[in-house]
Structure 1
Amino acid sequence: MDDRLCDRVLSVMLRTSALLTLLNVTPVFGQIVPDSTLPNPSQVSIEGNTFTLDGGTEAGSNLFHSFQDFSVPTGSEAFFNNATRIENILTRVTGGNISNIDGLIRANGTANLFLINPNGLIFGPNARLDIDGSFFGTTANSIVFENGLEFSATAPEAQPLLTVSVPVGLQFNQNPGAIQVQGSGNHLSLLQPPPVGSFLPFNRGDGDSGLRVNPGRTLSLIGGDIVLDGGRLTAEGGRINLGSVRSAGVSLTPTSEGWTLDDRDASDYGNIRLLSQALVDASGDGEGSIWVQGRHLSLEEGSVILIQNEGVRPAGDIRVNLSESLQAIGTTSNALIRSQLLNSAARLGNGGDIIISSQTVDLQGGGSIKTTSFSEGAGGNIEISALDSVQVQGTSPINPTLASTIQTATDIGARGEQGDLTISTQRLTVLDGARVGAFPFGNGGGDVIVNASESIELIGVDPLIFQPSVLGTTTLGAGNAGNLTVNTPRLVIRDGGRLDTSTLASGNAGSVIVNVSEVIEVSGTVPGSVNPSPIGSSATLVDESLQQAFGFPPLPTGDTGSVTISTPVLRVSDGAQVTVRHDGPGNAGSLQVDADSIALDDRGGITASTQSGEGGNIELRVDNSLQLRHVSQISAEAGGSGSGGNLTISADTMALLEGSTINANAFEGSGGNIEIATQGLFLSPDSRITASSQLGVDGIVTVTEPEVDTSSALVSLSDDPIDPVTQIVSTCAISEENTFIVTGNGGLPPDPTDTLRGQTVWIDLRDLSAPDPEERSKIDLEREAGRSDEGRSRRYAPSSDVTSHLVEANGWRVDTNGNVELVSYQPRNAPFLPSECLLER
């Protein structure tokens, strides 16, 4: 089409548009109008519903197009008629209008297509892509090249120095336009009707709708705020980039896995919102990856960010970098599809990781972050770094079995290994029946590590089905559960919340390691029941209906894990427990607590129990006090033929009050042994310590006082003999009016060179009453005599009326009958005693 024909077509279009405007009628077609800013301008020809785009300016393998307006109406097609040698088609929109695209965009060959409109992009529900390269839709100001040149949509009047180099970045101003993708939502469905709570891969359904690139290619939307309102983005085994950037730039790098983006130069971000079952899908035959960057990301109403690896090659990662917050809220209206981020291994290839960086992460109403293995491939890891908080709350209001969750999992029969879960944040809160952890149905489970610099709180249950809020690992099959490690200053578990590892089948439960620098508070039970809020590890018997649904054995046969706790303060109250337990034939694990103080109150317990196996051992090392009050207990019991576990307790002081107990009892087996080392043990009349067996041999209870290391109180003596007469001077007369008392601790006198200890109390025992007048006169006369006889040796002779008193023995003799008598000898050289020692009282 020559310039004259193009002008004629444009004139007709403008007149038609003006007429329709006067008639208050919206045009039924959009506009693709070229501008004249290129050396070789773009050309548009129209045939039926097809806009054919020719011309443009070539520079090497790059083809540059420039349009004043670029919109594709419903049912229409924009066809870039490029030469097949072209690798990159770079298209800018220089007018002031948003691009509305509700039809097909097509290009020849394998060229990548860049569409840049700073005013905004809207992709309607009928928008499609038919290109064999990658697609970039952006509201940036310009495309940046290696040599520093820019292809700008906001400064087109400057004649561009077009380049043959590859695009390396996008440059933004302070207020880029928004990008919107509309659609009817995802067509995800589960491959078969699921058992309650199970994990199944998706049938991804119709793949033709929405914006889609060919397998292995990149689909990128980079601009201001981004909204997917039921929209679908698909890159089978390729890469999807979603970036909401408001200033500075984003770098572009072509790789064998697609175009990667780097936003390190960006200084401000916008919001990304997925609603109405929107879908971002990089599933396929491995290597798919998804990158999301913005200020705030929300997934609502069953919207999904998905990589489902259906091939043999490993999948890529889902990476989410946010300057503020991530939210995943709710489910679809039928409660089958959660709002979620999911990276799964459906066949032989391994699943990828989910890596999230944000200020806050908030999951509600069944929202989920999950990696899963359904077959041979291993599941990916989850890594969450939230500078402020991670909060996981509640269940789906439509289907309460769908809990809000952060988890790694394996499906029933899956042989792939499960991934690990790591959360680093200031505060982790799990509320109202939500779950955080690793839960394998199949092969081995992953570990869970939580580092919370301020606190971890696990509170409450779902109010409808009483599902507890959980942080833990559980094996539901033959694979072993992973270990659980938490590090935080403050740990709070109450009202049915749980921190535990468990097994429901033949796999072993993991170990629990709790490191708390300030205080642990465990309190309460599930409302309306006696099920405690626990820290623990267990092999748990499940309901018969769940046994039938999932094929669980009648009794769990896997081993219970060990529990290790380190904290300054441990408080357990209101029926809560720190526990290791086995409901089947296996043995209970070991439980160890290192603390400055432990307080159990109102039925609080530290327990190790078995149904028929050997009781677990409990070791408590307490620097200060251990208190049990109001029917609290420390117990290592065994049912059936198992022997009771052993209890080893060391504490400075111990108190058992108000019906509290310490026991290591058994039924048929032997009672366990209880060893207690303490400086003070206080029992109320209704409290007890027992190690008994109903049918077997009783255990042994041993209470000892810790050995005192006297070596630290010894002082090295001189090797030279010392004459005590030359070293000791009695400066006061012996009388009952003067006393000198030294009281030691534990039989040892204090070292006078030591500093005073904090518990030292000064008690002044001097008699401050006035002296007898006659005695006072004696003292005064003696002082006067001393002054008048200055220079002479003076010796004080005690008055004859001084009463006798007890004198410490300093020798012994044998009387005539052969008896030994303790005696006191007066030294031969009596010391000089000045009269001034008679101080007034």
Structure 2
Amino acid sequence: CFTIKNGAGAAAVTVGTEIDDTESDAGGEIRVDADTIEFRGLAGLATTTFGSKKAGNLIINAENIALLDGAVISADAFNLSENEPETLELVELIFNLQRGLLGNKDIFGQAGNIFITAQTLLLDNRSRLSTTTQSGDGGDITLENLDLLLLRNGDGVGGISTTAGTEQRGGDGGNIKIDADLIIGIAEENSDITANAFSGRGGNIDIETTLILGLEFRDELTRLSDITASSEIGVDGEVVIDDLGIDPVQAAAELSTDTYRPPLSQGCQPGMDGRGRFLNAGRGGIRPNPSDPISSSVGWEDIQPATSQENEQPEETTPPDVIVEAEGWYINEQDQVVLYANIPSIEFNCQSR
């Protein structure tokens, strides 16, 4: 488990106060491999540039990643004001990344890229992934093989962002690619996925998912949880959301609570042959109890080789007794009452004395 909290962090920082005539190399790279990663509070990872160089890349491989209470993973590019020192303490760096307190000299740094491979990724309470710039091009963010991406309590600050030109300057927005089975947010919590720009072109957002809940594509940011790739005065980016569109609420069918009771097809008349029956058709029997042993619906069949029996005699069948309505009664010799259907024939023996 890799845990950073209470203002701690790791950073690869590039600082420069002047624009180089020649192209500068990118800053340092940070790579993390762990089972579980948890960043809490004003803590996180950063590959940041404060000048004309490009911020380094951040590569993270983990099973579960949680950014809580304002934690950040960033590859941002900031402008350095005249009164800022050329070296910054790490705690101050993370603090300033959170609250955007760095100055704005006209230096065009380019953000780095973030690559994350994980099963679950949680951003909660204003935590964020960002490759934003004040006046340069935004970096790219790639999230792969996620089972769940959960965005909570963004308040317009937390979320995923590759926005460029946050100081109302140039720069194209970075690209965002997300491959996740489930993407879940709460609409009213304002957790956004943005690749916006001011005067440059908005970035592209490509999302592949089975189900996305709580976030919607919109042309511009709102107080809800948005997915945007817009530009204030430039060309908007492209948003592609490839999902199966499964809504578990709409897909649920309401079952009838009434069972079918068939009417009696015929009445029982006295003197009729045969036997009657009454059926109440329900939903297939009694619901199984969770504590009952598992049973298969396939019957047991013992297949034996066919054998022939000689001189097989057909079984004698005895016809069932027919119930007949009584028509009278009499008392027999044992003083017992006997019911009869047909009038019995009574023989009278008359003997002369």
Shorter-chain TM-score category?
A: 0.5 to 0.7
Q: Which of 102, 113, 132 is the aligned partner of 1:590?
A: 113
Partner of 2:14: 503
Q: Give a deviation string over 1:541-579, Cα, whole Å, max 9, x none.
A: xxxxxxxxxxxxxxx333211111111211112111111
CA contact (8 A) 1:677 1:706 kept: no
Partner of 2:293: none
Q: Give a deviation string over 1:108-145, Cα, whole Å, max 9, x none.
A: xxxxxxxxxxxxxxxxxxxxxxxxxxxxxxxxxxxxxx
Return the alpha-carbon distance in structure 1 between the equivalents of residues 10 and 244 of structure 2: 34
Cα offset, 1:776, TM superposition: 11
Return the alpha-carbon distance in structure 2 between the equivalents of residues 598 and 776 of structure 1: 69
The one-letter amino acid of 2:109's match is G
Partner of 1:627: 150
SS in 1 for 2:135: coil
The one-letter amino acid of 2:68's match is S
Partner of 1:694: 232
Q: Give a deviation string over 1:272-317, Cα, whole Å, max 9, x none.
A: xxxxxxxxxxxxxxxxxxxxxxxxxxxxxxxxxxxxxxxxxxxxxx
CA contact (8 A) 2:212 2:243 kept: no
The one-letter amino acid of 1:503's match is T
Return the alpha-carbon distance in structure 1 between the equivalents of residues 32 and 213 of structure 2: 29
Compared with structure 1, are the counterparts of its residues 769 and 498 closer, same or farther at alpha carbon in structure 2 (3 Å cutoff)? same
Partner of 2:282: none
Return the alpha-carbon distance in structure 1 between the equivalents of residues 206 and 263 of structure 2: 60
Return the alpha-carbon distance in structure 1 between the equivalents of residues 197 and 12 of structure 2: 25
Pair 1:675-2:209 in alignment? no
Partner of 1:636: 162
Q: Which of 191, 203, 223 is the aligned partner of 1:660?
A: 191
Alignment of structure 1 residues 275-286 onto 2, 5 Å:
none
SS in 2 for 1:558: coil
The one-letter amino acid of 1:566's match is N
Cα offset, 1:586, TM superposition: 2.6
Cα offset, 1:683, TM superposition: 2.4
Partner of 1:116: none
Compared with structure 1, are the counterparts of its residues 783 and 765 closer, same or farther at alpha carbon in structure 2 (3 Å cutoff)? farther
Compared with structure 1, are the counterparts of its residues 581 and 775 closer, same or farther at alpha carbon in structure 2 (3 Å cutoff)? farther
Return the alpha-carbon distance in structure 1 between the equivalents of residues 181 and 258 of structure 2: 37
CA contact (8 A) 1:507 1:557 kept: no
Q: Give a deviation string over 1:18-57, Cα, whole Å, max 9, x none.
A: xxxxxxxxxxxxxxxxxxxxxxxxxxxxxxxxxxxxxxxx
Return the alpha-carbon distance in structure 1 between the equivalents of residues 117 and 11 of structure 2: 18
The one-letter amino acid of 2:163's match is E
The one-letter amino acid of 1:565's match is I
Pair 1:578-2:79 in alignment? no
The one-letter amino acid of 2:13's match is S
Structure 1 unmatched ranges of 5 or more: 1-489, 526-532, 541-555, 708-744, 747-763, 786-841
Return the alpha-carbon distance in structure 1 between the equivalents of residues 109 and 200 of structure 2: 15
Return the alpha-carbon distance in structure 1 between the equivalents of residues 241 and 25 of structure 2: 39
The root-mean-square deviation of aligned C-alpha atoms, in Å, is 3.5
TM-score under structure 1 length normalisation: 0.24
Return the alpha-carbon distance in structure 2 between the equivalents of residues 776 and 627 of structure 1: 65
CA contact (8 A) 1:588 1:615 kept: yes
The one-letter amino acid of 2:183's match is M
Return the alpha-carbon distance in structure 1 between the equivalents of residues 180 and 145 of structure 2: 5
Over the matched positions of the two proteins, sequence identity in percent amounts to 32
Q: Which of 62, 73, 77 is the aligned partner of 1:567?
A: 62
Alignment of structure 1 residues 602-613 onto 2, 5 Å:
602-613=125-136
The one-letter amino acid of 2:44's match is P
The one-letter amino acid of 2:29's match is S
CA contact (8 A) 1:495 1:524 kept: yes
The one-letter amino acid of 1:539's match is T
**Number of residue-to-residue matches in the alignment:** 218
Return the alpha-carbon distance in structure 2 between the equivalents of residues 706 and 698 of structure 1: 25
Pair 1:648-2:177 in alignment? yes
Q: Give a deviation string over 1:571-614, Cα, whole Å, max 9, x none.
A: 11211111111124231111111111111111010110122221
SS in 1 for 2:62: strand
Return the alpha-carbon distance in structure 1 between the equivalents of residues 267 and 172 of structure 2: 78
Q: Give a deviation string over 1:706-725, Cα, whole Å, max 9, x none.
A: 69xxxxxxxxxxxxxxxxxx
CA contact (8 A) 2:211 2:244 kept: no
TM-score under structure 2 length normalisation: 0.55
Partner of 2:329: none
Q: Give a deviation string over 1:242-291, Cα, whole Å, max 9, x none.
A: xxxxxxxxxxxxxxxxxxxxxxxxxxxxxxxxxxxxxxxxxxxxxxxxxx
Instruction: Give 4+ residue runs of structure 1 displaced > 6 Å after superposition.
Output: 764-771, 781-785
- Determine which structure has greater relative contact order: mean sequence separation of CA pairs < 8 Å that are 6+ residues apart, divided by chain length: 2
